[in-house]
Each structure stands twice: as C-alpha cells, then as structure tokens.
Chain A
Amino acid sequence: MKKYIIKRIITSLFTLLAILLILFILMQLMPGSPFNDEKLNNDQRAALFAKYGLDQPVVIQFFKYVLNMLRGDFGVSYNISKNTPIAQLIQTRLPISIAIGGAAVALGALVGLILGLTAAIWHDTIWDTIATIISVIGVSVPSYVFALGLSYQFGFQWRIFPMLFSAKQMVSSSVLPSIALSMFTMASIARFTRSEMLEVLGSDYMLLAESKGISGPALIFRHALRNALIPIITVLAPLIVDLMTGSLVVEKIFAIPGVGSLLVNAIQSNDYNVVIALSFIYSAMYIGIMLVVDILYGVIDPRIRLAKSEA
C-alpha cells in the first residue's frame, strides 16, 4: 500500500512538472517582450533583463518559474485589471467557484443516489424507466442548456430565483447555477448506482443476508449500498473535474464572479498571464483530486489494498 501511494505521488508530481514545462514553453513562444519600449537603449535593456533574470540560461529561468508558480506568485494581469497580481484576482474568486461547485456535487450525488437506488430496487417497473429517462437526458444535454432553461423559466418568467448572481443574496442566487451544474453529476451517478446496485442485489451475500432474516432498509442500506458505494466514489472524481468545464459556461450565464468567468474573460481579452495561471491552478486541482481519490479508493476497498500491495 505504501509503495502504491508513493508511486502515485511521484507520478502526480511528474505530471505537474510536465504541465509547468508546457506552460513555460508557451510563455517563451508568446509574441512580444515586456521590454519592447523603443526609448530603452541596449544597456538599460540589459539591466532590466538582469533584474528579472532573463539573461540567465533557460534551465535556471525554468526552475525560477517553477518555484514562483508553486509559491503562488503568478505575475500580474495585463488586460483585465492592469498590474494587479493574479494571485489577488484569484483569491476573491476561488471561494465562490468552490462553494457553487461543492453545492452542485453534493446535490448531484445525493439526487443521483436516490434516483439510482429507486431504479435498482424497483427494477423493471415504471420507476426504473422514469429514472433511466431522467439520467439519459441528464447525460446528453449540456449543462449550459439547463442553465439557460432554468434561468429563463425560474429567473425570468416566474421570478422565483434571481437571474444573476449577487453577493447580497448569496444563497438564493446560487440555487439555479448549482442545479444546472449538478445535472451531469446527478445523471452519471444515477446510472452508475443503478448498475452497481443491480449487481450487488444479485450477489450471493445478499441472498445470505436475506435468508438470515434481514429485510427492508437495513438490507438495502447496510448491506447493499455500502458495497455499491465503493465504485461510485471513483466516478465522482472525474465528475468533479468535469464540473470545472461546466462551471465556465454556467458562471458566464449567471454572471458569477468566479474563476471560470475569469478564465473566459482572460481568453477573450488575450490576457496570457491569467490564462496560464488559471491553467496551472486547474491542473493542480485536477491532479490533487485524482491523487486523493486513487488513494482513498485503496483505503476503502480491502481487495484493492491487498492486490496493490502484492504487486
């Protein structure tokens, strides 16, 4: 197990390093230099280069760059808000994105579990069909279509919830974006829960539990669901990551001042520094989540723990 964890951590670090390398190369390829002023003579330019370490070999520059990125020093923004450190821009936005993303994951996982359980317990009935239809639609229709629909119906037509996000009405204005974001998670979890539960319910140990006289909720929740949950946790990780992509568009639609809308703005106004900083943050989050889930998976399921430590 220890060996497995160490191996996973090393792979993750290499991935992060690879991303930093790609980002660094991109920075070098970007057109223009920060010191393109014609008033500067060669000596002044050399002095500036020396000050920012641009006269050093590329390898040393790269290591400096890596250190800066890891410390959270991403440089300054060019276009969105001139000369503001990017770390400062992100600081205020990240909590909002995480809050809405977290709400979406929680909602999606909960509703998805209920739907999947319903479909599995009442297999081949009308409930199963309804749950399947809901999950197929949820998987197929992009989150921003839901976002637009919800925003039009609940926000504009019925005026139950605000159409746009506002910091004053944090809770009520987060309802619609969270629902829109959670649809894909919900549908995937529902499909997965259904198939896992059907497999568990048909297994020998369920028959044993039933013949011992356990029935009703205890049978479903204590014996079946606990075993079905293990694989579900693994699909949750990629789903959380998919939320990042979804959040970009949903944040734009509901005008949420989060990281996603910052990235969209940065792309549209060619603010390279911000794009690269956010790419790094997204990658780091992604790698972190994948690492945690992989390790968690081993901890939860003894079969995997044993198999991995033998290998």
Chain B
Amino acid sequence: MRIGMKKISINTEMPAYIPADADFCLKNNAGEIAIDNNFAAQSFWKEVILRYLRKISAVAGLILIILITIMAVVGPGMSGYSYSEQNLLQKNLAPRIPGFDQTGFFDGSEEMHTTTGTKKINYYVENKLDHVYYWFGSDNFGRDIWTRTWSGARVSLIIAVAAAVIDMVIGMSYGLISGYFGGKVDMIMQRILEIVNGIPRLVIVTLLLLILQPGMVTIVIALMITEWVGMSRIARAEMLKLKEQEFVLASRTLGAGSFFIIFKEVLPNIIGPIITQVMFSIPTAIFTEAFLSFVGLGIPVPQCSLGSLISEGFNSFTTHPYQIVPPIIVMALLMLSFNLAADGLREALDPKLKEV
C-alpha cells in the first residue's frame, strides 16, 4: 500500500486510488506467528532433565547404570547357584547357555592350546554333564561365574556409592565452612588440605590397610580419606562465588546464623556441581576398589568384588580366558556409563560450561 501511495505523491496527474475491500486480506502467516508462542516458566530441574535427555551418550550411560544395578540386585539369584558354592567336579567349565548347544558359541566348548596345536574340547560332553549349564562358565573351584560376577558388581557398587556419599558430606562441609569463614580459618584449613593432598593416594590406602583388616569397611574408609579433597575444593570455590551475593546479605540482615546461611541458603544453590562431582567420584571409587583387590588388599574370600574376580581370573587367563571376561566387561561398562552420565549431567546443569 505504501508503494502505491508513493506513486501517487510523485505522479500527481494520476487519479487518486481508492482502496477496495479486495485489497485487504489476511496474510496467512499463522506459521510465523506460531514461532512466537510463550513458554510456561519451567522449573530449574525440569530444564535440566530436558537438557540431559537431549544428549544420547548421557542417556545411554544412565540406562546402562540402571541395567547393571538391576542385574546386581537380581542377577545372583537367577542361575540357581550361590556365589560361594563350590563343586570341584564341575570346575573350569566354559560358558554354556540352554538353547545355544548347536550354535557353536556358548555351547560349553573351549579351545585348548597345547604344544601340538589348538583343539576344541567340550568338558560338558566329556564328563556327561547333560543338564548342567553355567551361563558364564565356572571357575577354578567350580563356582558359577554368572552369580559371582553380579554379586561382585553388587559389592563394588555398594562400596563406590557409600564412599562417594561419605566423601560428599565430608568434603562439602569442609569446603563450605572454609570458604564461608575465610581469613584465618580458611588459611589453616587450606594448609591442612594442601598437606593431605600432598600425600599420594596410593600411600594413604596402603598404609591404612596395613593397620586395618581388609574388608568392605576398610576400603570405604580408605576411599573416604582420599577422595574428599576434590569435593571440598569445588564446594569452597562455589561458596566464595556465592557468599557476596545479596540473598546471603539479606539472610544475615534478618538475623540468620552462619550455619543456617551455609547449609540452608548456600548449599541448595550449589547442589548441581556437587552432584556432578559425586557422579565423577563413583568410577574412581570402583577403580580404586578393583585396584586394591587386584593387589590383594580387597574383599576377603569367599566374598567377591569385580576387582577380586579379575584378580582370580588373571591367574588362568591364558588357559581359560572366559573366566576373566565377564567381570572385566561389567567393570569397564560400569565405569564408562558413570563417566558418560556424569559428563551429561555436568553439561545439563551448567550449559555455559566449557567441555573438558
């Protein structure tokens, strides 16, 4: 219309244009308008969940964690064997699953390497164990590897989660208190932390295990002593960022005490980075436990963890490789999935954060 008006103003000889009704019609731009709709205000956690679900690797990690946890709970009861039941007549049997007898794998046969070459042996057939099935095979004492793998996963998970939660409580409190009070308190607490951090984790764990009896509690204590430092650093840094903000000042003006401000006002605001750190410390704990078991400082027999299973399987891993494969795969998957889930969570909680 404006162009038409311009023409009129330039060329005055033309008769004035009288707009007709047909000139006016709807633009039919419903598509453009639709873009400009309003979102309902979403809560912080709802947005976090949405961002998390958008990342495939993070979701895959979470699903794996859930699957392994479920298997760690129900797995040991599935095969009908117990984790400590020994049957010396049925030792070192290769994996055999019902229904796979004709397929060529999981049929109970294994390759033996001898000086003259390799040959295929099926001990189930040789020893006439027709209705015996060990899904993952049996170990050197005739124990079911399926049951042992999942009960090992259970022990490893319990240790890791317990250690991570205790670390969180200790490290978080230490960091928050150190950061909030500042000054001399902070100075002294940070010097202590520097000294503790200066001692290699390996040394602390080894020395601790010299004094205490090996076992689940000892491993949790060892992990607790070594892992809280990282958590406390994060908590302190977050506290330093937040304590100058207005809401803290407001709370203090209203008469709140120091500990109320630390745990009721600041803590809920830094829960994101803390949870991420917990997620990252779980694979570290699983690894440390496995490492200790491998060195011989882990869970006492007949109990087992993933680490002790790998350590046992290592003794015969050239002759019976199937014995070491299940615990290794479960552990690698567990660590991988926790790392993926933690990565995703970190990005979901803080989208501005650069990837590391």
Residues of A in contact with B (beta carbons under 8 Å apart) = 11-12, 14-16, 18-19, 22-23, 26, 29-30, 136-137, 139-142, 144-145, 148, 152, 156, 191-192, 194-195, 198-199, 241, 244-245, 248-249, 252-253, 263-264, 267-268, 270, 272, 275-276, 279, 282-283, 286-287, 290
Tell me whether A11 and B287 are in contact in the complex, defined as CB-CB below 8 angstroms, given that A140-B336, A195-B355, A272-B210 are known contacts: no
Residues of B within 8 A of A268 (CB): 295-296
Known contacts A276-B207, A287-B198, then 19 further A-B pairs from the complex at CB < 8 Å, ordered by chain A residue: A19-B198, A19-B199, A22-B207, A140-B339, A142-B287, A142-B290, A145-B310, A148-B317, A191-B356, A195-B355, A199-B354, A245-B200, A267-B296, A275-B210, A279-B206, A279-B207, A282-B200, A283-B203, A290-B198
Interface members, chain B 247-295 (any A CB < 8 Å): 283, 287, 290-291, 294-295
State the CA gap A268–B324 with chains docked (Å): 22
6 residue pairs of the A-B complex, CB under 8 angstroms, read: A11-B194, A15-B194, A15-B195, A30-B210, A245-B201, A267-B206
Listed stretches B14-22, B31-39, B138-146, B327-335; interface member: B327-335
- B211 pairs with A29, CB closer than 8 A: yes
In the assembled complex, how far is the CB of residue B126 from the closest CB belonging to chain A, in whole angstroms? 24
User: Chain B 29-72 against A: per-residue CB contact (8 Å), 1 yes, 0 no?
Assistant: 00000000000000000000000000001000000000000000
By beta carbon, the residue of chain A nearest B355 is: A195
Query: Is A136 a contact partner of B336 (Cβ separation < 8 A)?
Result: yes
Least Cβ distance of B111 to chain A in Å?
11
- Interface secondary structure of A, over-half rule: helix
Asked if A275 contacts B199 (CB within 8 A), the reply is no
Smallest Cβ-Cβ distance to B205: which chain A residue: A245
The docked-state distance in angstroms from the alpha carbon of A120 to that of B256 is 49
Distance, CA A29 to CA B109, complexed state (A): 53
Alpha-carbon separation in the docked complex, A290 to B210 (Å): 26
Which of B294, B295, B321, B339 has a CB less than 8 Å from the CB of A139?
B339
Bound-state Cα–Cα, A274 to B355, Å: 43
Which has the most chain B C-beta neighbours within 10 Å: A30, A136, A142?
Answer: A142
- Point out the residues of chain B lying under 8 angstroms from A22, CB to CB: 199, 207
**Is B241 an interface residue when CB atoms closer than 8 A count as contact?**
no
The reply to whether A144 and B336 contact each other, CB–CB distance below 8 Å, is no
Indicate the size class of the contact surface on chain B.
35 or more
B9 contacts the other chain (CB 8 A) = no
Most A CB atoms within 10 A — which of B202, B332, B335? B202
- B198:A244 contact, CB within 8 angstroms: no
Question: Which listed residue, A144, A145, A156, A241, touches B200 by the CB 8 Å rule?
Answer: A241
> Which residue of chain B lies nearest to A12 when distances are taken between CB atoms in the complex?
B198
Complex partner residue of B314 from A253, A264, A276, CB under 8 angstroms: A253
Q: Which residues of A contact B198 (CB under 8 A)?
A: 11-12, 15-16, 18-19, 283, 286-287, 290
| B209 interfacial by beta-carbon distance below 8 Å | yes
Contact indicator A141/B336 (Cβ below 8 Å): yes
> Within the complex, what minimum Cβ distance (angstroms) separates A28 from chain B?
12
Which residue of the partner chain, among A14, A18, A141, A144, contacts B294 with CB atoms under 8 Å?
A: A144
Question: How far in angstroms is the closest Cβ of chain B from A158?
Answer: 13
Closest-by-CB residue of B relative to A286 is B200
Which of chain A's residues have a CB closer than 8 A to the CB of B338?
Answer: 140
Residues in chain A near residue B291, CB distance under 8 A: 142, 144, 245, 248-249
